[in-house]
Amino acid sequence: MSMVLDTQNGSDVTAEPAGVIPAEAARAPATLHDELLAALRDYIVEGNLDDGARIPERLLCDRFGISRTPLREALKVLAAEGLIELLPNRGARVRALSADDLRELFDVMGGLEALAGRLACERVSDADVAEIERVHHDMYRFYLRREMHDYFRCNQDIHRMIVEAAGNAVLSATYASFAGRIRRVRYSANLATDRDRWGEAMREHEAILDALRRRAGSELSDLLFQHLRNKRKAAQAEAKG
């Protein structure tokens, strides 16, 4: 249970309500603000608010049990991240992603993954490659069995592992930020229904893994970018169909 949800206003902090985890339990003595920020981000990413709908501050304050000041601070940060937009004197609304926005975001994700692949080839260990191969083979099994959900999870894991293998914290953070932004539509951007695309994606992953094994950075970079490109195109076709 999160502090954000349980903490009440400062006037009566004498007895904590039942069910509250002692503040000390929070391993990181994170400030209330940071916790709220994370909670609010999840809340939005998970789609609890409608696209473009108004978000009265008061409502969120009540929901999270805090006053407007820390909430507004969090909103400013989320606006800077591009998750919501703040209209002067007219409140916050969830930023609806246009087709162009999606195209741009996918391409930037592709660029970041391309970079990750390039960097990973410079420093990835054989053990790391083996680990990625293991997940790849798991994924292949799920592909054969048409177990979409598990396949998808492995897929995400592989991409994340490549990004981590790059050993660049700035890259990881940036990648995570963009991943959050498109998460709302990512599931719909799925290749669940398109079997041809699914098989193609598997072949692309084979090539990606092969390039990684050979530490062919530049080649892997191209492959990852194209892989994301194709994923985007599939998603767009899906959206239209």
Distance CA 58, CA 68 (A): 7
Least distance between a second copy and beta carbon 164 (Å) = 13
User: What is the DSSP code string of 153-200?
Assistant: HHHHHHHHHHHHHT--HHHHHHHHHHHHHHHHHHTTT--SS-HHHHHH
- Residue 13, contacted partner among a second copy, DNA, none, CB below 5-8 A by kind: DNA
Residue 53 binds a second copy (CB under 8 A): no
Size of the site for a second copy (CB under 8 A): 37
Residue 81 binds a second copy (CB under 8 A): yes
Nearest Cα residue to 100 out of 108, 92, 111? 108
Is residue 175 within 8 Å of residue 106, measured between CB atoms? no
Give the one residue of 112, 121, 135, 211 binding a second copy; rule: CB under 8 A: 112
Binding region for DNA (CB under 7 A): 7, 9-13, 31-33, 54-58, 66-70, 72, 86, 88-92
Least distance between a second copy and beta carbon 210 (Å) = 17
For the chain, counts of helices (H) and of strands (E): 10, 3
Of 135 and 212, nearer to a second copy (C-beta) is 212
Nearest Cα residue to 51 out of 83, 29, 19, 99? 83
Of 8 and 31, nearer to a second copy (C-beta) is 31
Residue with tokens 């904590």: 16
Residues 6+ apart with CB under 8 A from 148: 142, 190, 192
Element (H, E) at 91: strand 91-94
Residue 170 binds a second copy (CB under 8 A): yes
Residue 145 binds a second copy (CB under 8 A): no
Q: Mark the segment that binds a second copy (CB under 8 A) among 58-66, 133-141, 165-173, 199-207.
A: 165-173
Of 151 and 221, nearer to a second copy (C-beta) is 221
Within positions 186 to 225, which residues make up the interface with a second copy, using CB under 8 A? 218, 221-222, 225
Is residue 106 within 8 Å of residue 232, measured between CB atoms? yes
Give the footprint of a second copy on this chain (CB under 8 A).
Answer: 29-31, 33, 69, 72-74, 76-77, 80-82, 86, 88-89, 101, 104-105, 107-108, 110-112, 114-115, 118-119, 168-171, 174, 218, 221-222, 225
